[in-house]
């Protein structure tokens, strides 16, 4: 064992994490290696037993069973064909407005967020389906790709979000309450996105023209029928998951099981379910959850060593010493999370930072649920802020090459939406009841 001051350990562990991420190695392995190295330096040979006990305590948490079920639900819906039907229904109604196709894309992203909850799936589906429609009808490439990324990333916030399932145990907050605080937060962001698209389309009609009348000349009854039949399945799925939680019928874990079952039935109803699809969805669930739980275990080890060696107190004292009282400390926390989001996956930020900053929020006197949602909304930007920005690279890979949409087009397109997330954070600061009212109505 080596005597190291808590301040030195804090600098070395956080600095090592940043350097390790920049090397390009998988973040889970970087985090785990730092945890084991510094744990051995601080505690010696017993570090293995200490980390095992902490990891076992977390991974046996019953609520985490919801993760593979929600992942399965999202992957099954990706294969069901629900996105194409939604786009067809909304296209006929909104295509005649300037910016209507971009608004349609955001609305579909919002609906998918309440059904899928997997960013890669949502952004990929919208990139394949929506971007070609927009670009070929005269939309600017930045508007088309920006609205696709913004709408597709709402799934990390709007429940059933895997991020919220992890956040709850880390902060010891009810996952059900997080779900119903996140729902209005996601809807506010969606409304801000649609308002921006509408306003900019009116000011610059050439970047988002309306669809010609002959392309949407469908009788009123027929297009109403198309819209309603496309909306019913996702509404049933949303009610089967969120409704059972809100009315106290089931906990999030059981609701996730219901959602996975309903998603399978929807794929069967759309005649997309066969053995090959079931096999691919199952394997995809195993791969995704394997990565998620490896990240979980390594992050828990890192946090255990960091807090046990005094790093948590160092960070706490640093944040509490900032000027302008509790709001100055809050601004520092939000800035740290924003900067980390440029380099690290949301999972690393939640699993590492939440156990450290949650006690600080309690000392500062913030409502724990409100504070949790502010962090989650902040992390919405991490998907769209380079250099990490997974939404940019997912869209870049999924958009058909013949459209010649560049990475620069996508970055220019998402910049206004990142600013709109900041506007949303400002609204939640001024009107905290936007986030707190609905959870208070839940039936216990």
pTM over 0.75, yes/no: yes
Q: Is the pLDDT of residue 444 over 60?
A: no
CA 141 to chain centre: 24
d(CA 64, CA 57): 12
**What secondary structure letter does DSSP report for 81?**
T
Q: What is the mean pLDDT of the chain?
A: 87
d(CA 358, CA 377): 16
pLDDT digits (tens, 9 = 90+) for 300-317: 888 888 888 888 899 999
Q: Would you state the pLDDT for residue 111? A: 87
What is the domain partition of the chain in residue ranges?
61-273+310-440
Distance set, CA 350 to CA 161, 163, 169, 303, 383 (Å): 13, 8, 11, 11, 14
Q: Kindly indicate the confidence band of residue 203, based on its pLDDT and cuts at 50, 70 and 90.
A: very high
d(CA 371, CA 430): 13
pLDDT digits (tens, 9 = 90+) for 240-275: 888 888 777 888 888 889 889 988 988 888 888 899
Please give the average per-residue pLDDT across 327-343, as a whole number: 93
- What Rg, from alpha-carbon coordinates, does the chain have? 22
Q: Would you state the pLDDT for residue 24? A: 73
Please give the average per-residue pLDDT across 1-18, as a whole number: 84
Q: Would you state the pLDDT for residue 222? A: 84
d(CA 407, CA 12): 34
Residue 49, classified by CB atoms within 10 Å of its CB into exposed (0-12), middle (13-18) or buried (19+), is exposed
Closest CA to 42 of 8, 68, 76: 8
Q: Is the pLDDT of residue 71 over 80?
A: yes
Q: Would you state the pLDDT for residue 45? A: 73
Residue that has been written with the tokens 């948490």 in this structure: 61
d(CA 286, CA 71): 9
22 versus 75: the higher-pLDDT residue is 75
d(CA 231, CA 235): 6
């Amino acid at each position: 064992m080596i005597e190291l001051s808590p301040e030195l350990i804090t600098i070395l562990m956080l600095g090592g994490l940043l350097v390790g991420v920049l090397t390009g190695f998988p973040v889970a392995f970087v985090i785990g290696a730092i945890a084991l190295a510094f744990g051995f330096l601080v505690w010696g040979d017993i570090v293995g037993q200490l980390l095992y006990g902490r990891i076992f305590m977390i991974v046996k948490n019953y609520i985490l069973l919801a993760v593979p079920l929600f992942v399965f639900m999202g992957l099954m819906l990706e294969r069901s064909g629900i996105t194409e039907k939604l786009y067809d229904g909304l296209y006929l109604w909104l295509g005649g407005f300037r910016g209507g196709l971009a608004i349609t894309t955001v609305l579909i992203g919002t609906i998918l967020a309440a059904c899928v909850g997997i960013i890669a799936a949502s952004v990929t589906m919208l990139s394949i389906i929506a971007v070609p429609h927009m670009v070929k009808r005269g939309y600017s490439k930045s508007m088309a790709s920006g609205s696709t990324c913004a709408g597709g990333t709402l799934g990390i916030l709007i429940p059933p979000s895997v991020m919220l399932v992890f956040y709850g145990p880390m902060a010891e907050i009810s996952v059900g309450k997080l779900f119903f605080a996140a729902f209005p937060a996601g809807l506010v962001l969606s409304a801000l996105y649609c308002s921006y698209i509408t306003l900019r389309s009116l000011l610059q009609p050439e970047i988002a023209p309306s669809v010609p009348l002959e392309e949407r000349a469908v009788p009123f009854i027929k297009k109403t029928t198309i819209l309603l039949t496309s909306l019913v399945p996702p509404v049933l799925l949303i009610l089967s998951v969120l409704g059972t939680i809100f009315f106290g019928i089931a906990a999030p874990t059981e609701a996730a099981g219901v959602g996975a079952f309903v998603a399978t039935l929807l794929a069967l109803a759309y005649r997309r379910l066969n053995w090959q699809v079931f096999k691919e969805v199952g394997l995809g669930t195993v791969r995704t959850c394997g990565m998620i739980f490896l990240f979980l275990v390594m992050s828990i080890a890192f946090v255990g060593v960091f807090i046990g060696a005094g790093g948590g107190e160092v960070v706490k004292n640093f944040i509490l010493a900032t000027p302008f009282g509790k709001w100055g400390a809050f601004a520092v926390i939000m800035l740290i999370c924003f900067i980390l989001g440029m380099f690290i996956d949301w999972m690393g930020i939640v699993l590492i930072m939440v156990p450290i900053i949650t006690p600080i929020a309690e000392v500062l006197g913030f409502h724990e649920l409100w504070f949790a949602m502010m962090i989650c909304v902040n992390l919405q930007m991490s998907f769209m802020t380079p250099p990490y920005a997974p939404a940019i690279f997912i869209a870049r890979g999924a958009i058909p090459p013949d459209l010649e949409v560049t990475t620069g087009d996508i970055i220019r397109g998402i910049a206004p939406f990142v600013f709109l997330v900041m506007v949303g954070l400002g609204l939640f600061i001024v009107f905290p009841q936007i986030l707190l009212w609905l959870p208070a109505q839940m039936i216990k």
